[in-house]
Structure 1
């Protein structure tokens, strides 16, 4: 599943943009790093569950960032529909 992230051209990294995509019903899959700060991920995780989109938990922010093709860790990533 993580391998698919790099190939996505419809990818959002970051909680503000990700939350906006979920609220606008543009999100398909939500990725959350398990080691991310809870106050960063809580709101977007709840929104994802309410919208009944697929949520994938990733072991670390480092792994998620790398899977997104960025040099820094990522707490949240969203694949758009």
Structure 2
């Protein structure tokens, strides 16, 4: 799953992911399990509302590395 995120077009962060969801561009959303629920919860609820698949990743560091950034990421999305 993370290899798809590494290779494909993506957005990183809750704000950018919410924007992609609202624009209908998000294909799949990745959520870090160790991130603050105040950040991931609203994004997860929006995914359920929009019918977009979510994938849980154990850690923010792992998700950040998959996105090619040097810091952890709470939320990321594969976009079209």
Gaps of 5+ in 1: none
Q: Look up the match of 2:40.
A: 41
| TM-score, normalization by structure 1 | 0.94
Hey, what's the Cα distance between the residues in 2 that align with 1:31 and 1:40? Answer: 12
1:78 Cα deviation after fit:
0.5
Hey, what's the Cα distance between the residues in 1 that align with 2:16 and 2:69? Answer: 16
Is 1:54–2:65 an aligned residue pair? no
Q: How many residues align?
A: 80
- Runs of 4+ off more than 3 Å: none
1:42-76 alpha-carbon deviations (Å, 9 max, x no partner): 11110001111110000000000011111100000
Q: Look up the match of 2:16.
A: 17
Is 1:4–2:22 an aligned residue pair? no
Hey, what's the Cα distance between the residues in 2 that align with 1:20 and 1:35? Answer: 23
User: Aligned-residue CA RMSD in angstroms?
Assistant: 0.7
Gaps of 5+ in 2: none
